[in-house]
Structure 1
């Protein structure tokens, strides 16, 4: 059975732009670097050649990874989903019941996740524990060395403003 990765249109287009940049800019540049390094002769002690070949391997590996992501992508428009319960694209506002600290997370596709910005992958342990919950629910989140209890204050759709990398 083929794996399907939900992804926003923005995330899909961002990955396509990365592929285009790798194919049209970075890879041709590294091929040119390899050609120039070959002109220096002896490959055993040619650091420029070995560095360029390593860059080529990294680029080719990333292209293969992106091809897999894009091949498995299913574009989902979270604005069209019902966010009564936590689902893909939901923004969850929740409060730690002991400390009253408030947290906000948005569930996105794996390739779009950025926990530092509150964007968590739908496949992450945290998202898996939140999926299907509703406002008012208490959820016990298993952390690496403890458990914390949170109350879900709000579940909503909120458009994500992505920053370009």
Structure 2
């Protein structure tokens, strides 16, 4: 199953993979060698901790490689969706009740960061927005009930 990722999201994953392979993996291998040199492995907490860290690093490497190999990388700048909200779009919204404006970019699960204005394509708000145009109102089931957001603008940046 392909996983949608923006270009910047894919770059972040590639950078993490590079760091895991070139920095974290060699460091943990050195830590294991160092701990092993201390003798008896049966009661060697440093060795156990280093082996556990190695397992975590190798697991994360496999996970990131899997995500990248299944990634459908989308460059929002090249989207031609005629003003429709799609994956990768940046959307200016107005909370109808509060009158407050917010801006979100719809991204993949791994890229989602609410503080940075990046919401997962699988979030309730993104699901309510997909397919809408500027001027439309999206109803979102929020913890406090239904919230309405008017789509002010849709950009592909």
TM-score (norm 2): 0.92
Describe the superposition over 1:97-120 as per-residue Cα deviations: whole angstroms up to 9, x where unpaired.
Answer: 111011110012222221111111
Other-structure match for 2:60: 62
Q: Distance in 2 between matches of 1:68 and 1:143?
A: 33
Confirm or deny that 1:93 pairs with 2:102: no
Query: Secondary structure of 1:20's partner?
Result: helix
Describe the superposition over 1:31-50 as per-residue Cα deviations: whole angstroms up to 9, x where unpaired.
Answer: 11011101112223212111
Other-structure match for 1:50: 48
Confirm or deny that 1:151 pairs with 2:150: yes
Other-structure match for 2:10: 12
Unaligned runs of 5+ in 2: none
* Residue range with higher mean Cα deviation, 38-47 or 68-77: 38-47
Aligned pairs for 1:1-165 (under 5 A) are 3-83=1-81, 84-158=83-157
Q: Give how far 1:56 is off.
A: 0.5
Q: Distance in 2 between matches of 1:17 and 1:139?
A: 36
Query: Secondary structure of 1:112's partner?
Result: coil
Q: Distance in 1 between matches of 2:123 and 2:4?
A: 13
Runs of 4+ in structure 1 deviating by more than 6 angstroms, as ranges, are none
Unaligned runs of 5+ in 1: 159-165
Q: Distance in 2 between matches of 1:36 and 1:133?
A: 58
Q: Distance in 1 between matches of 2:26 and 2:89?
A: 40
TM-score (norm 1): 0.87
Q: Distance in 1 between matches of 2:70 and 2:32?
A: 33
Query: Secondary structure of 1:68's partner?
Result: helix
Q: Distance in 2 between matches of 1:10 and 1:104?
A: 18
> Is the alpha carbon distance of 1:9 and 1:96 closer, same or farther for their aligned partners in structure 2, counting shifts above 3 Å?
closer
Describe the superposition over 1:105-153 as per-residue Cα deviations: whole angstroms up to 9, x where unpaired.
Answer: 0012222221111111222222111100111111111113422111111
Query: Secondary structure of 2:131's partner?
Result: coil
Q: Give how far 1:93 is off.
A: 0.9
Aligned residues: 156
Q: Distance in 1 between matches of 2:40 and 2:66?
A: 37
